[in-house]
Amino acid sequence: MDPDSALNSTKATQIPCQEEDALSPSTALLPFNTDSSDCSNPTKKHTTTIVFISLLLVACISLSAAAAFAFLFFSSASTSSSPITATSFSAETTSRPLTKLKHPVVILISSDGFRFGYQFKTQTPNIQRLIVNGTEAETGLIPVFPTLTFPNHYSIITGLYPAYHGIINNHFVDPQTGEVFTMRSHEPKWWLGEPLWETVANHGLRAATYFWPGAEVHKGSWNCPEGFCMFYNGSVPFEDRVDKVLSYFDLPSSEIPVFMTLYFEDPDHQGHKVGPDDPEITEAVAGIDRIIGRLIDGLEKRGVFEDVNIIMVGDHGMVGTCDKKLIFLDDLGSSIQIPAEWVQSYSPLLAIRPPPSVTPSDVVKKMNEGLQSGNIKNGKYLKVFLKEELPSRLHYAASDRIPPIIGLIEEGFKVEQTRIKHQECGGAHGYDNAFFSMRTIFIGHGPRFARGRKVPSFENVQIYNLVTSILKIQGAANNGSASFPGFILLPSPS
């Protein structure tokens, strides 16, 4: 309301005076002392008018402030739940130009088992620096199922679900040949799809890998070149790995690899031993932050930190496990016998391949009847499926390598064959990727990533297309969305 109009309105409206007893109900309820003598006293009348106008002005100002606060509050609330393109807090509309490098460069970093939320366990100034000045998946990166190390690392690097890239578990059996895949199997026949280092090589560009599952495999145009492809050795200090990557930036510009990987075993190593909530995890996270700081410092000394696109991810999360959360297959004896030789994986992914003489659907039916009978300890925490009847969101059926019977185990529970007396409390992963505990991190920093931007969670199969988009090369067919980079990356200047 305009103050002048308020004043005029007050002057025009005179409330008639009434003679009332001092203790009459109407007088007693008034907020101020309005003695009846005011009606015959001009000075008091004028004072009353001024007080009224002042109160009216204060009320108007308060209402305006409240309205402004409400607008800001609800605008902020609506922003946080709006689509991916509306979550940016950056005014940048295009990618930042390179100042020293002659071509785009991506460093893809994996911190194994870095569960989403670990970054808040302790001071992580270097990781936070990447977050504050980059783009972060606000509620974490979603791994593929099963949430295991090899399947997820190879999904990140190929953009394919495990059923399509072939690495369906950390260990599995080829049903045609009977051969066993282990984490030391480097024969190309196991590793399907086209990993990023191969894609880069196909375009006549240079890639460098300091550890990554599948990098040692000679495949297509990638021959794991000496000096640019390190054979896995877990005893190599993290500092040495970072320093080797930094040394590539001392090469002539045309020889600097356009794509590099860095892999660290922590905090997965500690998580399996002590679970996700132990002080040892906090120490491991602080250690990872220090090593990220070493990388940042080295890039800054070479004047290329703002030119390099750094993508920091994990492969999966971690959840605590303990003896009281066990399910024993031998307890199913009254319903069905499950011999150990049928079982290819117990936990956290139960995988069963019965002999050809046994019908998988009969096994599934009898197992679920026993588990749901109430006679099996913790039986309700395991549900068994024919692989083709698994939830389609898991994308875990289209491969002969996947056994016909898959058991989904509830978070934190484990399956074993028989009861033995042992004490085990630690951590595990591999569970349904819908569990929040299986989420990991995604942080992007560099000229193609907006500063201070938060984006919704997404699956790690999208990362392949992000990298090829940054490098401006044509990627291979994959399960990611071709349009996805447009939601995450700043567009290049036209």
Q: Which residues are catalytic?
A: 149
Query: The tokens of 244 are what?
Result: 């080797």
Query: The tokens of 299 are what?
Result: 């890039």
For residue 472, what is the DSSP state?
T
Q: How far is CA 487 from CA 75, 159, 308, 453, in A?
A: 21, 17, 20, 11
Query: The tokens of 54 are what?
Result: 């002042």
Q: What is the Cα 248 distance to its own chain's centre?
A: 29
Residue 322 contacts residue 427 (beta carbons within 8 Å) = no
Neighbouring CB atoms inside 10 A of 456's CB total 13
Query: The tokens of 474 are what?
Result: 């044509």
Please tell me the distance from the alpha carbon of residue 223 to that of residue 218, in angstroms, as a whole number. 5
Residue with tokens 């139960």: 350
Please tell me the distance from the alpha carbon of residue 442 to that of residue 155, in angstroms, as a whole number. 15
Residues with Cβ within 8 Å of residue 368, at least 6 apart in sequence: 383, 384
Based on the number of CB atoms within 10 Å of its own CB, is 178 exposed (0-12), middle (13-18) or buried (19 or more)?
exposed
**DSSP output for 152-171:** HHHHHHHS--HHHHS--SSS
Please tell me the distance from the alpha carbon of residue 11 to that of residue 5, in angstroms, as a whole number. 10
Strands, E assignment, 37-151: 105-111, 135-137
Cα R_g (the chain), whole angstroms: 32
Residues with Cβ within 8 Å of residue 296, at least 6 apart in sequence: 126, 129, 130, 305
Residue 481 forms beta bridges with which residues? none
Please tell me the distance from the alpha carbon of residue 316 to that of residue 320, in angstroms, as a whole number. 14
Based on the number of CB atoms within 10 Å of its own CB, is 205 exposed (0-12), middle (13-18) or buried (19 or more)?
middle
Please tell me the distance from the alpha carbon of residue 249 to that of residue 105, in angstroms, as a whole number. 10
Please tell me the distance from the alpha carbon of residue 176 to that of residue 192, in angstroms, as a whole number. 16
For residue 249, what is the DSSP state?
G
Query: The tokens of 471 are what?
Result: 């490098």
Based on the number of CB atoms within 10 Å of its own CB, is 191 exposed (0-12), middle (13-18) or buried (19 or more)?
buried
Please tell me the distance from the alpha carbon of residue 353 to that of residue 175, in angstroms, as a whole number. 9
Please tell me the distance from the alpha carbon of residue 466 to that of residue 489, in angstroms, as a whole number. 8
Please tell me the distance from the alpha carbon of residue 155 to that of residue 144, in angstroms, as a whole number. 7
